Chains A and B, each alone.
Chain A
Amino acid sequence: MNRLLWIILILIGLVAPFFVYPVFMMKLLCFALFASAFNVLLGYSGLLSFGHAAFFGGASYITGHLVKVSGLTPELGVLGGTVFAALLGYIIGSLAIRRQGIYFAMVTLALAQIVYFIALKAPFTGGEDGLQGIPRGNLFGLIDLNQSYTVGGSPLPLNLYYFVFALFCLGFWIIHRTIHSPFGQVLKAIRENEPRAVSLGYKVERFKLIAFVISAALAGMAGSMKSLVFQLASLTDVSWHTSGEVVLMTLLGGVGTVLGPLVGAFTVVTLQSELSSVGSWITVIIGITFVICVLLFRRGFVGELGRLLKKSL
């Protein structure tokens, strides 16, 4: 049953660009990976990071710079962004895990703000304009990611789409393996009862830090993908709004569920594109969604569904 579900999802992902606007699909994949990475922390370790935009946006700047200025191929650009996010995650993570609970959220928010200031002021980030016109380049120096194929009258950037889809599957697989490993079980134990995990002899700090680094690295990978898709790395990507958005996606879909972040990302990205005509009212709508979600269904869509079906999704 479970295997069948995965096969169906992969098939949907493979044929999606023929039915749905591919850029929308790619945006969705980027944010779905971002939210899934975030969920490793909030859902499986009980740590609420309010600064995940630093990894997402930071990596998108690094990838943009590597590809545009240093002329690296896109896969190396993504690798560079991901490694950068992992290192940044190590630094921010080792500081943030010194405080618990609500302070953890505030520390990550404040540290991410330093990254925001750097992105605003550093010479290579383009300040308010961001990095524009990031080339997509040739994958492994061979496959042109800009090439589109005309299917049924409309040009589809299939090379780029399948590259992004492959990266998403890789990232999601890593998350899946992490959560369902003995390591993931220890994370859950820490989430449920930290003192008990300590008394069982686990080095709680180290587990939290590793989870933080994994989460940051994959959030960074999502950001790198995003900078190739939109050919843009901007201040919005590193701002606290983005940090808040990823919290909302995870919460809305279902904290601590495997599929929740996908559903949440789908909901929020759809909301944003459907309601793009209302302009800045979108912030208000996101805010209202937050409030309703916290007040009425804290388990999120998938969590509530799982409760109805009495099954862990």
Chain B
Amino acid sequence: MEEILQYLFSGLTSGAIYALIALGFTIIYNATEVINFAQGEFVMLGAMLTATFCGLNLPLPLAFALAILITALAGILIERLAIYPARKASPITLIIITIGLSILIKGLAMFIWGKDPLPVPAFVGERPISVLGATIVPQSILVLATALIAVLTLEAFFKKTLTGKAMRACAANRLAARLLGIKVEPLVLLAFALSAAISALAGVIISPITFATYDMGTMLGLKGFSAAVLGGLTSSTGAVLGGFILGILEALAAGFLSSAYKDAAAFIILILMLFVKPEGLFGTKEAKKL
């Protein structure tokens, strides 16, 4: 029993990170129908900048705020410089642009921060807390709490604010949104900033656990993408649940099956889920377009 609980804790920690990254994917996908392959690089930027600012002994809240802000700016920059000029191109062309950006950002990070992982001190104490025989470190609780708060805040933003509603309208039907007088362009820009910021947040809170390395984004991006697909790619609730499901599946597979095949096990289940429920856990059935 303790063991299952321990696996769950492990899965929840990874899952919370995947969930935040998956959210980043859905925000951009909803705004532009682009699958942003540079999403993982936002996570990396968040972690790297945290390592840098912590190294400069800035107060933690300031370091976090700066890391997230700068990454959000990077998101805006990317949209303006690379996505906006190609907005009329097909989604697949835009996807390749994000792949190019991912290579570029990773390369830049390699030059700025070097090739070795950078340490980040724990934000909260390192003394583990015992829960029903299983243990969890405070940083993991922080990861979970932050992820939950971020998700709820985003949800409120989309449901309650005018801008959020406009973004949802845009995602549902861009043309109709335009006809209603919604300006799409600033919303796309906002989507990139928001998506980058939330991924950076994932990078910030995970950095004391995994440290910061210039090439950490690829694998995390891939996991986040899978979580987003699992959740239907358009639904933020789905993305979050997808993230947690993927994280927990991995941990359970490592615990009960074989740690060698845990990634494969997680993806086999992911594929089976796709076959059984093709629109994802929370995706809406696409209307057939003729």
The yes or no verdict on A and B being binding partners is no
